[in-house]
């Protein structure tokens, strides 16, 4: 299965789940009592989508896993091969060694099997000795079973020459017939290109028996956790049910979330008391705590020499002392004594003294005005109409 087919199947599976979800959203029109119908719809659509869309994709997951692992794993793998003895063994081995990614091909011998056992042990011994002498590259012959033998050859031996010697010996020295011959070899290949190498080996009269190495170990570990086709169908059905329930209760879920958010935003009584402000200043912007570029601290010593002083600054500020307080108290007592003295004298009949009385009355008026001005006046605030 190619990539485009997998993408199309994924899109169709998602469309099936969207159909289930949108059908469940119609609960305001079909009523909450139809929950069972919605669940059955999700289950049926999920099983059908799993059988026709998910199961074929799951079947191809091992190949996808192999492709991903081969791109990420470095090293070499060992590929066990069985070579066909119907062709030229030497030519097959040379062709496999020439494949891009194959580092080397190792082989040790040829296996042959007879259709029946030898009549006597002497016949078997005479046959094996004749076979060993037929080719100088045969190092030994192992008897695997009563009717199976393994011919071990030297390292630089010609495999096809050994096979021809076996055929010649059976035609000349025994009445026992040859049943079959086979040869196995191990190819050391690069792990990141093993899929292409296996495909090329299959075109050269060879069968792959087994693969060992880091790539296969990781692939086998991942494949243990991959679901089979039956599990994929069951999971798709359960997913359809979950999607149907999500669409059925989505309105209730969002309502609960909105209530929870509003509850978190609602302030307590204590916070509302702390946030009380002066009437008319609710929309006033808060003062920035960041100091202005041209501001100056009036409590800094450099402020006395600063040209930025204006009216109301502390240029002429003088701290009061005890002497100043005593002097102010003496002047207040002197003024009181003079007023009592004048009140004892009473009214004067001399017309020339009227001007002095006017001066005294004007002084009293100025003092009253000064006292009135020195009093702290509460600012008149006009409440803002809401």
| 3-class secondary-structure state, position 103 | strand
| 3-class secondary-structure state, position 382 | coil
CB within 8 Å of 183: residues ≥ 6 apart? 82, 83, 85, 89, 107, 109, 110, 111, 159, 163
For residue 232, what are its two tokens?
């994929």
SS (H, E, C) 180-243: EEEEEEEEEEEHHHHHHHHHHHHCCCEEEEEEECHHHHHHHHHHCCCCCHHHHHHHHHHHHHHH
Q: What is the pLDDT of residue 227?
A: 82
Second-level CATH architecture of 75-212: 2-Layer Sandwich (3.30)
* Domains in the chain: boundaries: 75-212
Q: What is the pLDDT of residue 1?
A: 62
| 3-class secondary-structure state, position 78 | strand
238 burial class (0-12, 13-18, 19+ CB within 10 angstroms)? Answer: middle
Q: What is the pTM of this model?
A: 0.52
Q: What is the pLDDT of residue 278?
A: 54
Query: For each of the chain's 386 residues, which pLDDT tens digit applies?
Result: 666 887 888 899 999 999 999 888 877 666 666 788 888 989 999 999 998 988 888 888 777 777 788 777 778 889 999 998 888 899 999 999 999 989 999 998 999 998 888 778 888 888 888 888 888 888 888 988 888 899 999 888 889 999 998 888 888 766 778 888 999 999 999 888 888 888 899 888 898 999 888 888 888 888 888 888 898 899 999 999 999 988 888 877 888 888 877 777 665 555 555 555 555 555 655 555 555 555 555 555 555 555 555 545 555 556 667 777 777 777 766 766 666 555 555 444 444 444 555 556 666 677 666 666 655 555 555 556 65
Q: What is the pLDDT of residue 352?
A: 47
């Amino acid at each position: 299965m190619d990539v485009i087919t997998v993408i199309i199947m994924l899109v169709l599976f998602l469309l099936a789940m969207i159909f289930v979800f949108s059908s469940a959203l119609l609960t305001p029109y079909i009523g909450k009592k139809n929950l069972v119908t919605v669940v059955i719809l999700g289950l049926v659509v999920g099983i059908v989508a799993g059988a026709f869309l998910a199961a074929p994709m799951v079947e191809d997951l091992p190949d996808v896993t192999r492709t991903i692992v081969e791109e990420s794993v470095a090293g070499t793998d060992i590929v066990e091969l069985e070579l066909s003895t119907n062709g030229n063994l030497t030519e097959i081995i040379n062709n496999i060694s020439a494949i891009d990614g194959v580092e080397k091909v190792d082989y040790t011998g040829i296996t042959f099997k007879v259709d029946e056992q030898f009549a006597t042990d002497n016949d078997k011994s005479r046959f094996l000795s004749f076979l060993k002498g037929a080719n100088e590259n045969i190092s030994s012959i192992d008897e695997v079973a009563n009717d199976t033998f393994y011919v071990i050859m030297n390292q630089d031996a010609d495999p096809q020459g050994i096979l021809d010697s076996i055929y010649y010996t059976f035609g000349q020295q025994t009445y026992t017939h040859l049943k079959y011959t086979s040869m196995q070899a191990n190819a050391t290949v690069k792990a990141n290109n093993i899929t292409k190498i296996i495909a090329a080996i299959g075109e050269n009269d060879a069968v792959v028996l087994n693969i060992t190495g880091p790539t296969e170990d990781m692939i086998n570990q991942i494949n243990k956790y991959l679901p089979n086709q039956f599990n994929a169908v069951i999971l798709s059905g359960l997913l359809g049910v979950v999607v149907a329930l999500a669409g059925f209760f989505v309105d209730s879920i969002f309502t609960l979330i909105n209530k929870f958010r509003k509850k978190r935003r609602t302030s307590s009584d204590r916070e509302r008391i702390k946030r009380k402000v002066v009437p008319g200043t609710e929309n006033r912007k808060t003062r920035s705590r960041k100091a202005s570029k041209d501001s100056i601290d009036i409590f800094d010593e450099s402020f006395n020499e600063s040209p930025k002083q204006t009216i109301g600054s502390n240029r002429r500020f003088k701290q009061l002392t005890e002497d100043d307080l005593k002097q102010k108290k003496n002047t207040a007592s002197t003024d009181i004594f003079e007023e009592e003295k004048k009140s004892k004298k009473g009214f004067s009949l001399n017309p020339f003294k009227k001007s002095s009385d006017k001066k005294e009355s004007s002084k009293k008026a100025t003092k009253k005005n000064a006292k009135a001005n020195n009093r702290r006046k509460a600012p008149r605030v006009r409440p803002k109409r809401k």
